[in-house]
Structure 1
């Protein structure tokens, strides 16, 4: 399975010619609508993860694709997107094309007390890649690769690196880094790389529009 990273939290997974899109938000300016997209997953309702125009464009080109969202997101979607929607919740499993999807998690990490914590539904794809959305949730299910959120209003380096230790993934790729410039990336990655080395985890510093084979 191949992973292509776009800005911020968006990744596209490709297996046997089929594509799965996760969290193609407005910060993902380089995102290109893939051919033969069979599924789209949106982890939660925040603006940097949910872009209805990108969803429309993807579904227009791939009219049989399914859009997997939790009930809170479904309530926000325009009517033109509703026919593609499959409402999911944590603990549920779905299969679409060559992708098995296990949905996990509960709530977005806290930002500050006055800001609500929306439902956050992470996804494990083919028991291989875990995209947690905006939550430091360690699922019971197996996975080998972790998409690690690097930077956010809700994130602290100490919590991010503790997540690395607790998740015990064999491989990590960075996600949720759309607010960082080069200096910021170097700073955050230096801490993550140090903890990955301690934990025996391989860190892959993949950049926007680059791809990597997940094995």
Structure 2
């Protein structure tokens, strides 16, 4: 498996059979030129996870690509001319030989009186990789590589640590980093507190990494 971090929550996952792009949003870069994608997986409707300006062109440039998203995002994509399949927690899908399980269901609470939205987390190939979107959704199984959110108005660093300690992956790769001015402090905290057996490994932007 190879992972390429395109910034913030956007990663390209190459499983060996499938090319899956997750959360190409406004803070991400370089994903516009990707081709031969089998699926685009969107966790929720916020622009930093689903860029309404660049997404239609990306779909058009990848004929046959499947677009999967949470229920709230599907009608917004339809308004942009993007045909997407809404998925919900408990769904299991097969795409180009990859198994995709949907977890979670709701975006983490930003503030008590702020309306929330749906959020679909994804577990690929029975735990080979997990991306929770804007949540700390329980994958419900052992996970080899976990994408862990590290910044945002809905989380604090201690919660990211708790999430990694709860899931206990072999490798934790940080995502959702561009909501903060500097990543170094939070990354240092995570690296110091991850459980024994877990490697904390920031990904070099745009560089494919074997994990």
Q: TM-score range by the shorter chain?
A: over 0.9
1:213 alignment counterpart:
210
Q: Give the deviation of 1:143 after TM superposition.
A: 2.1
Does residue 202 of structure 1 match 2:203?
no
Does residue 89 of structure 1 match 2:88?
yes
1:28 alignment counterpart:
28
Q: 1:169-184 counterparts in 2 under 5 A?
A: 169-181=169-181, 184=182
Q: Give the deviation of 1:32 after TM superposition.
A: 3.5
Q: 4+ residue runs of structure 1 moved beyond 3 angstroms?
A: 15-18
Paired residues, what number?
A: 209
Q: C-alpha root-mean-square deviation of aligned residues, in Å?
A: 1.5
- Measured in 2, the distance between the counterparts of 1:88 and 1:64 equals 18
- Measured in 2, the distance between the counterparts of 1:199 and 1:134 equals 25
Does the residue aligned with 1:40 lie in a helix, a strand or coil?
Answer: strand
2:117 alignment counterpart:
118
Q: Give the deviation of 1:79 after TM superposition.
A: 5.1
State whether residues 143 and 168 of structure 2, in contact with CA within 8 Å, keep that contact through their aligned partners in structure 1.
Answer: no
2:81 alignment counterpart:
80
Q: Give the deviation of 1:113 after TM superposition.
A: 1.3
**Kindly tell me: are residues 156 and 14 of structure 1, through their superposed partners in 2, closer, same or farther at Cα, counting changes over 3 Å?**
same
What do the CA deviations read for 1:88-108 (whole angstroms, capped 9, x no partner)? 111000011132100000211
Gaps of 5+ in 2: none
Q: Give the deviation of 1:17 after TM superposition.
A: 6.5
What do the CA deviations read for 1:115-156 (whole angstroms, capped 9, x no partner)? 112111100111200000011112213321000101111111
TM-score w.r.t. length of structure 2: 0.93
TM-score w.r.t. length of structure 1: 0.91
